[in-house]
Amino acid sequence: MVHDGQHQQVWCLGCALRHRTIFRKALGVAVVVGIILNVINQGDLFVTGRIGKAGLVKMLLCFAVPFCVSVYSVLAMKREPPGVNRDDSPD
């Protein structure tokens, strides 16, 4: 983790996972998005009660993927040099 006086910048995956705020927000995203994805993708398994091992793996992935994407997004944003215009709209 790099400190620049007032702010902390997260530069590696391990640092991001140990950073309480990033971890907590990524976990929140994973729970909300994971529930929605599971209802969409495995809704029929919930209704019939036939989840099985493959269904369980799919359910876990529906939570893991949004968590990973959320953490990756923070890391990608933090790695941009200061002053980079993040607005992609045309001039």
At 3 the pLDDT is 47
At 81 the pLDDT is 67
Provide the CA 43 distance to its chain's centre, in angstroms.
22
At 30 the pLDDT is 96
Write down the pTM of the prediction: 0.71
Q: pLDDT tens digits for the chain (91 residues)?
A: 444 445 556 567 787 778 888 889 999 999 999 999 999 999 888 889 888 899 899 999 999 999 999 998 888 887 766 666 666 655 5
Beta-sheet strands, E only, within 1-91 = 2-3, 8-9
The CA-based angle 33-58-76, given to 5 degrees, is: 50
DSSP label of 3? E
